[in-house]
Amino acid sequence: MRQIFLDTETTGLAADNGDRIIEIGCVEMLHRKLTGNNRHIYVNPGRDSHEEALKVHGITTEFLQDKPPFADIADDLLAYLRGAHVVIHNAPFDLGFLNMELAKMGQPKLETFVESITDTLVMAKELYPGKRNSLDALCDRLEVDNSGRSLHGALLDAELLADVYINLTRGQNVLLMDDASASDASGHALPLMDLSVFQLPVMAADAQELAAHEEVLTQIDKDSKGKTVWRSLDSARQAVASAAAFAA
């Protein structure tokens, strides 16, 4: 799977109120490994950044004077992103700006060029409800080193996002691995094994183990003041069995 981790910096917060993109950072990952085939683009927005935005990214109007406008870099960017699974933190924000820029050129939305878009903010809120889930907060929580992030920068943030994503989805590369693509260290395909030929032994608990288990359940039932589900189910099953026996 080819994934692109994308981040933008902008002149302000409102794409529908004239704010523009000034920086785009993209980091490529192929089969969960960084490739180094990244993109880092500065864009001349044709306007100044708001004072508060300037405090965040530190990219001045003077620095951007000789940079190309978005229209001049759009084709290369779209070719790079085409068909990829794009990952963005707080995707509606970046998509709002990218789609606004594309609309100015008469182009369709970015979603039509890429395979999918994943929002890591949505993922993080599902995993950590009620907690701060900014990129910095996730770096701290997942032990991703962001010590070099004194100001926001699109490429640096995209690199951090890639690390955060790997930590958020740790283990999925094993869980989702396709058996048909299994290979050894040399890249040679491994033969598939028919597991149906094996007969797995069933180890039943002995009387001592059953007694110990019952003792634990009794203690839990006591601690919960009789609110354990299994006791309720046992009582219900016994009542049904008694009723069936009586009816017979």
Active site residues: 152
User: Partners of 40 in the beta sheet?
Assistant: 25
Q: Are 47 and 141 in contact (CB under 8 A)?
A: no
**Cα distance between residue 163 and residue 144, in whole Å:** 7
State how beta strands 85-88 and 39-42 pair. Answer: unpaired
Q: Cα-atom radius of gyration of the chain, to the nearest Å? A: 28
Q: Are 148 and 169 in contact (CB under 8 A)?
A: no
**Cα distance between residue 153 and residue 4, in whole Å:** 16
- Encoding tokens for residue 107? 């182009």
